[in-house]
Structure formats: structure tokens, C-alpha cells
């Protein structure tokens, strides 16, 4: 099942390179195993729009709350369902 | 370039089957030609989350304002950029 | 999986007894089969707070969008996960 | 009488293990005596949705303001009433 | 127990004298029996701030939803508790 | 004339016992002289709903801005008028 | 005492010349007797910012609710006090 | 002096071709005489972002309130000043 | 031309007497030369409502951004125009 | 393609002259090469309204997120399209 997750990052100014490297590694591992299906930057803002494909809301929470940047984020979650007019590719179903 | 478009439908109660059939046909034509890349229902609401892949904001406006349901929709548009941590498949780039 | 669904009803003044009877029957059928787990009135407002227990967001959408009052409702959906401090009874898990 | 209490936690980054252990113990004691009837995590956010079952608003305030995390929380309270269409189990009444 | 109830009236223009007479009678009956403890007009707006003193949220909902103007009102309810610094008169407790 | 004043307190965590003792004394003095007519706690939140009975808005400002907790409060003021349906006791007029 | 009153007009399209003539006459009578002290148009919107100088909130409510356009207005009221740095002319005090 | 004016159009569904033709003619006349300096469509919405260059706020109000679509618009006005880092062309000053 | 400027002050607790003395002097100088035409305190809040009478938005920005408290203020600006029903005194025009 | 970018600056009080000099240089370089097409100050606020003319949302993000003040800004982006009634000069197309 899919969830749209919108994340806005509020990092205090400073050097966060180690934290950001961990965030990147964490994010790419989830993208590779297919659970973080899409990841886009919101143009002009320190924010992203993501689509997660997980088995349960519990799994979604485990993944999102495990983000190294989680303590610095405002997060909005929207549960998605199949749209009756969607022509999804087989992988999307 | 991609835009997230969130559409909320406010149809007055009544029979709108002809209008909805045209909406469906219009939407599926754009999905088939690849410009309406993703279409999800917001679970529990008469709303959707869509990703459009178009050449310009002008093209986005032409597509969205041509929706048969356009006069009945509240719409929020978010311009998307590539995320530096995204491992997009080739087709997504 | 559970979702909190907050519904606010905006019915135009008038006699809606047939519609409301269908709403009641629909709601009680879902309560009896265990998918509409809790239903509370918001004190002082024509609104309710509900907990649905369903298998997927698709199923949630099917149930909620089938409500006879659906065209007259503002709806907010919140996906719920298990809380690490919760001492849920067996039925709740 | 029941109240829905939505709590969002805003802890500054750091080690809060002692505080969180006290929060957990406090919460579980109230769950065991039946006054904190339901406790769900909001998927993807450091927040919960709770149902309290107490004798008076004064008792609700005493319980909520006694939370070890109370100084770090944004809280929204909604008074609940019986819904005329609810088929509550005997324990719920 | 006390609840603050803020009511904003949205009547369509027209002659509502019969409806308003029933509203007045209903309101004054509840004021006389002590359950609608305070009733103030919000200066400059078609709105009021009220304090209800009732036995349960169920009773509050019965009283408020029975208002002849209820279908035309936006309503905000706030559950009140005793304030530790309040020097309430005996009747207020 | 009466004003509803809603105060939300945002104290940083820490020991504020001296400040709070002054707040209590200040509040009770105004309650005793009749100008802070009602004081209720908002159940579940560090906030109150108050009714002030003063001679002018200038007097209201002097009283509220003199609160020891004033620098830590978010405040909303609503000017109240007599409601045409109110059956106020003599003291209320 | 002074109140800032912000009025936004929501008239349905149509000919309202008689209503608007009454509004104008009403407004100018109050301006001439000094109680509607200032009246400015909000540039680009069908709205105004007004300063009323009245004896009580009751009087403010009587004046504002008597406006011929009152049923078509959204209204925000702000109670004003003397500013300690203001160098008001004698008439303003 | 310049003002940013954001206009959102809320036309009821129907044939508005005569009205829209007048709107277009009105708009283009103001663009030609240099007072409606920029006019952009908000991509995906029935809305625009405009820059007006006028002599006074009174002139701005006269122009905007004279729009044939004015009764159907929500409007937000922002007064603009020269930015100290702007390298404006001569015509812009 | 006139602008309504609403200023809300967010000073951290502490001794700001020197800063406030400069603010007062700055404000009174502008009031004396007629450009800060009105200055009212918002009753019960650390905020004011002001009317500025200046030649251009650039001049408004210069005056407001020069306020010693400017870095601590939230500010809302509304451009004002003459109201067709206003009976302004000669000085107001 | 054009984007409206609204930036609000939230700098902590202090001396930021070096940072601001870099911001100015960065901004003027983008204005000179034509990509930061317009830059206006919001009168009375530490904020600006900007029009960017770029080739892609990716380029917009690169420019905006490279601003020296980016970590201190709240930013709102609006994608713009050609307006059917606009009489743009050749350079604007």
C-alpha cells in the first residue's frame, strides 16, 4: 500500500555533513529495496515529496521515524488508494 | 519536468455520469501518452494526488485546465526537482 | 490496520429522514462486521470521530466513499500505527 | 465520559531516555486502570491519538497535565458523546 | 461540568422571525434551569460565547444540537476544568 | 464591560515556582476585586479562558499586560456585549 | 473607546443600488455624529478598515449589526487601547 | 508604485463568454497603457499573479474594482518597494 | 497615501529599556512630522495598529524597517484607499 | 519558464554584514544574467517577491537553494504560465 509523505527539513545552520551522509545512505537503501518508491525535491524549498510502498502503517512508521533527519522534520502523511481511472503499470499495482 | 497536482472535487449532489465518463476518458488519454505519470486516490476523500510529466508550466496548465471536472476542483500545484539522494530508474529521469 | 476518520456533515436544512436511515443502516452493518470499530459523536457539532479497522487503504476508501452522506461530508483521514507504550487487548492487535 | 486527545511531541534533539521511561510507565499505569482507553501512534509522525475515559474534565486535566512529556507537547482535546448510530459493546457504554 | 461553546450564525438573508422566536424561548428555558450558565454576544458579529454547565458531554450535545438555529451554526466546543488559582463562588463549584 | 481573554502559556521547561506564585497572587487579587470575573482551565492544555469585567479597554490592557506570565503568553481578546436573549442575574448586568 | 472593525462584503452579483444607498446614508450619519471615526477602503478588495469611537461594546454591536450590509459581511473586531508612545491630538483622547 | 495583485476566479459553471470578452478587453487596455505591467497565469489554477504600476492606492482600487470579473474574485494585494539589491532597468524605476 | 500596519512584538524576556527608549523616540518623531498618523495599542496584547501617511511604499518601508524593534516584529501591511462613503475632514484627504 | 518566489527572511538579531554582502553579490549576478528577472521588496516586511526565468525546476532549485540566506528563509514557489490575455513584450515570451 502506498503513502504520500511530505517532509520539510528544519535544520539549524551549521555543518551537518555526517548526519546528511547517514540520511542519504538510509534513504537509498530503502529506495533500492523498493519501499521508498519515489523521492522528489520540492523546487526552491528544503523539502521533499515521497511515495512509500509498504505492507502496513506500522512499517511506514518504522521507516519514517528511523530517518536520521526525523527529529528535524515536519511531516504530513496521506494514505493513497487505487484510483478507478488509473492505468497503472503492472509493477504499480 | 514533474509537477505534483493535488485535486479535490466539489461536485454538487446529482447525476454526473456523462461528465465523469468524459473525465475518465480525458485522464486515461493523458496517462497513456505518459504526461499524467501517476494518479492515486486520496483514501477516504473525493480527491487525488497526481504527478504530471510535461515540457513546460504552460503545457501543465493546458492539460489541467482542460479537465472536464476543472470548474469543480480545488487544485494545489507543487513544482518538483530531482532529489540528490534519489536513485531514479532511467525512465524517471 | 486502523485509520482515524473525522467526518463533518454539511447537510442543507430540510427533511433528510430517508437518507439518514440509509446512513444508519450502512454504518451499523460495518460496525457489526468489525470494520467500523468505534464511532463517537463530537459533542456539540454535527460531526463524528471514527476508527476503522480494514485490510488496506483501498478497502477504507470503498467503505467511506460508499457512505450515503459522503457527498455532504468534509473528511480527514489519519493512518494509525501501534504505539510502543500501548497495552492493547488481544482483540485490538 | 470520553475525550479524544491528540498529542504532538516537540522534544529538542538529545538523549531523553529517562524522561521517556517515566512517560511510558505513567502511560501504562493509566491504560491498566482503564482511564487511557486507547493509544495509537500517528503513522510517520511523533504524535499520538488517544481516547481517555474519565469521570470529569478536571480528571482529564489532572491526567494529561501530569504527563512527563506535557511541557513538550501540543495538545488538542475533543469532547465525545455517544453516537446515535453506534452499536457499542457493553464495556464501551 | 462546564463547556465553553462559541456559536457563529450563518443565516441566509430573509425573514426568520418564527425561527428566532423559538431560538430565544429554547435558550431562555435552558438559562432558567441553570444549564446555559452564561450567554454573551460577540460585539460586532452574529455570534455568541456561551458557558454550559451540564452533567455529561452527552447532555451538552443534546442541548446544543436541539437549538433551532443549530443547522445554521458553526460551533467550537472547549471543555473546561477548575483553575487552581480560581476563587470561585460557591455556586460556581 | 466584559472581555473574553484566552491565554495560552508557553513556559520553557524549568523551575518557575517564584514566577507562578506571583502570577497566582496577582490573579487572585483581581478576582477578589471583581475585575477578573471568571477563570477556567482549558482541560488538557496549559491555557485558560477568562472573563474580565472592566471599565475600559485601557484598563483591560493594564491588567492583562501586568500579568507576571504576560511575556510567555499567546493571548486572544474578544469584546463581549449583552445578548438580547440573555437572562442575566442582576450582578451580571 | 475605540474599536478597529474590518468588514469584508460578500454580495451576490446583481443590482443592489437601493441597499447600497441605505448603507451609505447609515454610514455617513454615524460618521457625522463622530462614532464612526475613520473609514478606509482596502485597496483592491470589497472591504474596509474602520475605527469606531463608542461608549461601550454594546453600543458598538448596535451600530455594526444595524448596518444594511451586515448580513453580507465578514467582520473582525479588535479592541484598542491608548498606546504609551502615542502623541494623540486632544480630540483623539 | 507597484502592487502585486493575486486574483483567484470563482465563476459558477456556465457560459460566460460575453463577460470574459469584456474582461480581456479591459485587461489589455490597462496593459497597453502600462498600468497593468505584468500578468501571469498560475499554472494549473484559474488564478493570476499581476503587477500593477500606478500612481496611488486609490488608482489601484479604481482599476481592480472595475474588472468585469471583480465580483467573482478573491484578491490579495501586496504593496511593493524597491529592493536594495535590485538592478532594475531604467523603465522599471 | 495611507497604509494600515499591524505590528506584533516578540521580545525575549529580559531588560530592553534602552531599546524601548529608542523605539519610543523614533515613533514620536514620526508622529510629530505627521507620517505616523495613528498609533493604538491592541488591548491585551503586545501589539499595535498603526496608520501611516506617506508618499510612497518605498517611504513606508524605510520608516517601518528603521524601527528599533523591527527585528522582533511580525508585521502585516494593508494599503488603504479613499472610501466612497467617507466624510473625511480636510486634513484626512 | 517563470516562477514566482516569495522569500521571508528570519535572521536572528546580530551583525550579518558579511552574509548580507554575499547575498547581494549572489543576487545581482543572477539578475545580470537574466535568470532573476524581477526583485521587489515587500513594503514593511523583511521579505521579497521575485520572478525567476529559468529552464527547468531543477535549475530553479539550484539557484534558490544556493542563496547565502537560504537557511534563514521561508519560501513559497508558484509556477507561472502564459496568460491568454497578456500582451507581453517580446523579451517576456
* Spans in chain C with pLDDT lower than 50: 90
Closest partner residue to J80 (CB to CB) among H2, H43, H92 is: H43
C49 touches D4 (CB < 8 A):
yes
Q: Is the pLDDT of residue F62 over 70?
A: yes
Size of interface D-F (CB pairs under 8 A): 24
Any chains having at least 3 CB pairs less than 8 A from chain A are B, C, D, J
Closest partner residue to D81 (CB to CB) among E2, E58, E81 is: E58
To test the contact with chain G by mutation, choose from E9, E41, E44, E49 the residue with the greatest count of G C-beta atoms within 10 A, namely E44
Task: Report the pLDDT value the prediction gives residue E6, as an integer from 0 to 100.
Answer: 98
pLDDT tens, residue by residue, E6-39:
999 999 988 999 999 999 999 999 999 999 999 9
Q: Which residues in chain C have Cβ-Cβ distances shorter than 8 Å to D17?
A: none
Residue D40 phi/psi, 5° resolution?
A: -120, 145
Closest partner residue to A57 (CB to CB) among D13, D43, D46 is: D43
Inter-chain residue contact F78 with E49, CB threshold 8 Å: yes
Size of interface H-J (CB pairs under 8 A): 83
* C-alpha pair distances (Å), J23 with each of A51, I10, J17, J18, J34: 35, 26, 10, 9, 17
Q: Is the pLDDT of residue J92 over 60?
A: no
The count of other CB atoms within 10 Å of the CB of residue B30 is 20
Half-sphere exposure of B52 (CA within 13 A, CB side): 26
Concatenated DSSP letters of G51-93? EEE-S-HHHHHHHHHT-TTGGGEEEEEEEEEE-TT----GGG-
Cα separation, G53 vs G31, in Å, equals: 10
Q: Which residue of I has its CA nearest to G48?
A: I83
Task: Report the pLDDT value the prediction gives residue H13, as an integer from 0 to 100.
Answer: 82
Q: What is the ipTM of this complex?
A: 0.94
Closest partner residue to E28 (CB to CB) among F4, F79, F85 is: F85
Query: At CB < 8 A and 24+ separation, what contacts does G59-65 make?
Result: G59/G35, G60/E43, G60/E44, G60/F79, G60/F81, G60/G3, G60/G5, G61/E41, G61/E43, G61/E44, G61/F81, G63/G30, G63/G35, G63/G36, G64/E43, G64/E44, G64/G5, G65/E44, G65/E46
In this prediction, what percent of chain F has a pLDDT beyond 90? 90
Inter-chain residue contact B31 with A86, CB threshold 8 Å: yes
pLDDT tens, residue by residue, A41-81:
999 999 999 999 999 999 999 999 999 999 999 999 999 99
Cα separation, E79 vs E74, in Å, equals: 17
Of H30, H88, B79, B2, nearest to J50 by C-alpha is: H88
Q: Is F45 on the interface with E (CB under 8 A)?
A: no
In this prediction, what percent of chain H has a pLDDT beyond 70? 95
Cα separation, D47 vs C83, in Å, equals: 10
Of C57, E7, F3, nearest to A77 by C-alpha is: C57
pLDDT band at residue G13, thresholds of 50, 70 and 90?
A: confident
Residue E9 phi/psi, 5° resolution?
A: -95, 130
Inter-chain residue contact D60 with F43, CB threshold 8 Å: yes
Q: Is the pLDDT of residue B90 over 70?
A: no
Q: Give the sign of the dihedral formed by CA C11, CA C12, CA C13, CA C19.
A: negative
Angle at D76 (CA atoms; ends D74, D79), nearest 5 degrees? 160
Q: What is the mean pLDDT of residues D59-80?
A: 98
Task: Report the pLDDT value the prediction gives residue H91, as an integer from 0 to 100.
Answer: 52
pLDDT band at residue H51, thresholds of 50, 70 and 90?
A: very high
Task: Report the pLDDT value the prediction gives residue A89, as an integer from 0 to 100.
Answer: 59
Cα separation, J15 vs J13, in Å, equals: 7
I41 touches G84 (CB < 8 A):
yes
Q: Which residue of D has its CA nearest to E83?
A: D58
| Mean pLDDT value across chain D | 94
Inter-chain residue contact B83 with A41, CB threshold 8 Å: yes
* pTM, rounded to two decimals: 0.95
Q: Is J61 on the interface with A (CB under 8 A)?
A: yes
Task: Report the pLDDT value the prediction gives residue D13, as an integer from 0 to 100.
Answer: 82
Any chains having at least 3 CB pairs less than 8 A from chain E are C, D, F, G
Rounded to a whole number of angstroms, the distance from the CA of D10 to the nearest CA of chain E is: 23
J2-80 CATH? 3.30.70.1060
Place of cell 455517544: D82
Q: Is the pLDDT of residue G81 over 50?
A: yes
Task: Report the pLDDT value the prediction gives residue H5, as an integer from 0 to 100.
Answer: 98
Instruction: Pinpoint the alpha helices (H) of C1-93.
Output: 17-32, 57-65
Task: Report the pLDDT value the prediction gives residue E13, as an integer from 0 to 100.
Answer: 82
Inter-chain residue contact A81 with B43, CB threshold 8 Å: yes
Q: What is the mean pLDDT of residues B21-37?
A: 98
Q: Which residues in chain A have Cβ-Cβ distances shorter than 8 Å to B2?
A: 40
Q: Is E34 on the interface with C (CB under 8 A)?
A: no
Torsion angle, CA of G15/G21/G24/G26, rounded to 10 degrees?
-120
Half-sphere exposure of G48 (CA within 13 A, CB side): 20
Task: Report the pLDDT value the prediction gives residue B17, as an integer from 0 to 100.
Answer: 96
Q: What is the mean pLDDT of residues I10-38?
A: 96
Rounded to a whole number of angstroms, the distance from the CA of H78 to the nearest CA of chain I is: 8
CA D16 to chain centre: 20
| Mean pLDDT value across chain I | 94
Q: Which residues in chain D have Cβ-Cβ distances shorter than 8 Å to A58?
A: 43
* C-alpha pair distances (Å), G85 with each of E50, F57, H34, I20, I38: 36, 17, 42, 10, 11
pLDDT tens, residue by residue, J52-80:
999 999 999 999 999 999 999 999 999 99
Inter-chain residue contact A60 with C79, CB threshold 8 Å: yes
Rounded to a whole number of angstroms, the distance from the CA of J1 to the nearest CA of chain B is: 7
| Mean pLDDT value across chain F | 94
Q: Is the pLDDT of residue I91 over 80?
A: no
* End-to-end Cα spacing for chain D: 9
Q: Which residues in chain A have Cβ-Cβ distances shorter than 8 Å to B80?
A: 40-43, 49
Q: Where are the domains of chain G?
A: 2-80
Q: Is F13 on the interface with D (CB under 8 A)?
A: yes
Of D50, D79, E41, E38, nearest to C45 by C-alpha is: D79
Any chains having at least 3 CB pairs less than 8 A from chain I are F, G, H, J
Rounded to a whole number of angstroms, the distance from the CA of G77 to the nearest CA of chain E is: 7
Q: Is H81 on the interface with I (CB under 8 A)?
A: yes
Give the residues across from E60 on adjacent strands. none
Q: Is A73 on the interface with D (CB under 8 A)?
A: no
Q: Is I70 on the interface with F (CB under 8 A)?
A: no
Task: Report the pLDDT value the prediction gives residue C54, as an integer from 0 to 100.
Answer: 98
Q: Is the pLDDT of residue I93 over 80?
A: no
Instruction: Pinpoint the alpha helices (H) of chain I.
Output: 17-32, 57-65
Parallel, antiparallel, or unpaired for β F2-9 and F47-53?
antiparallel
Inter-chain residue contact I44 with F58, CB threshold 8 Å: no
Any contact of H with A, at least 3 CB pairs below 8 A? no
Torsion angle, CA of D55/D56/D62/D67, rounded to 10 degrees?
70
Q: Which residues in chain H have Cβ-Cβ distances shorter than 8 Å to I81?
A: 56-58, 60-61
Q: Is J3 on the interface with B (CB under 8 A)?
A: yes
Under 8 Å CB-to-CB from F28, ≥6 apart: which residues? Answer: E85, E87
Inter-chain residue contact C71 with B11, CB threshold 8 Å: yes
pLDDT tens, residue by residue, G31-76:
999 999 999 999 999 999 999 999 999 999 999 999 999 999 999 9
Cα separation, J85 vs H38, in Å, equals: 11
I83 touches G40 (CB < 8 A):
yes
Give the residues across from B80 on adjacent strands. A42
Q: Which residues in chain J have Cβ-Cβ distances shorter than 8 Å to I5?
A: 44
Grid coordinates in use for E49? 460565547
Any chains having at least 3 CB pairs less than 8 A from chain F are D, E, G, I
Inter-chain residue contact D77 with F41, CB threshold 8 Å: no
Rounded to a whole number of angstroms, the distance from the CA of A44 to the nearest CA of chain D is: 24
Q: Which residue of E has its CA nearest to F46?
A: E83
pLDDT band at residue G90, thresholds of 50, 70 and 90?
A: very low
Q: Is the pLDDT of residue H88 over 90?
A: no
Grid coordinates in use for D59? 480528571
Inter-chain residue contact F42 with E80, CB threshold 8 Å: yes
Q: Which residue of F has its CA nearest to E42?
A: F80
Q: Is D13 on the interface with A (CB under 8 A)?
A: yes
F44 touches D65 (CB < 8 A):
yes
Rounded to a whole number of angstroms, the distance from the CA of G61 to the nearest CA of chain H is: 27
Q: Which residues in chain G have Cβ-Cβ distances shorter than 8 Å to H3?
A: 43-44
Q: What is the mean pLDDT of residues E68-78?
A: 97
Q: Which residues in chain E have Cβ-Cβ distances shorter than 8 Å to D54?
A: none
Inter-chain residue contact C57 with A77, CB threshold 8 Å: no
Task: Report the pLDDT value the prediction gives residue A80, as an integer from 0 to 100.
Answer: 98
Q: Is C63 on the interface with A (CB under 8 A)?
A: no
Amino acid at each position: 500500500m502506498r503513502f504520500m509523505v511530505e517532509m520539510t527539513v528544519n535544520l539549524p545552520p551549521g555543518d551537518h555533513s555526517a548526519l546528511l551522509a547517514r540520511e542519504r545512505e538510509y534513504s537509498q537503501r530503502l529506495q533500492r529495496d523498493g519501499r521508498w518508491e519515489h523521492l522528489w525535491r520540492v523546487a526552491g524549498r528544503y523539502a521533499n515529496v515521497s511515495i512509500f510502498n509498504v505492507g502496513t502503517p506500522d512499517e511506514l512508521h518504522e521507516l519514517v521515524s528511523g530517518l536520521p533527519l526525523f527529529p528535524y522534520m515536519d511531516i504530513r502523511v496521506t494514505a493513497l488508494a487505487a484510483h478507478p481511472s488509473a492505468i497503472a503499470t503492472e509493477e504499480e499495482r
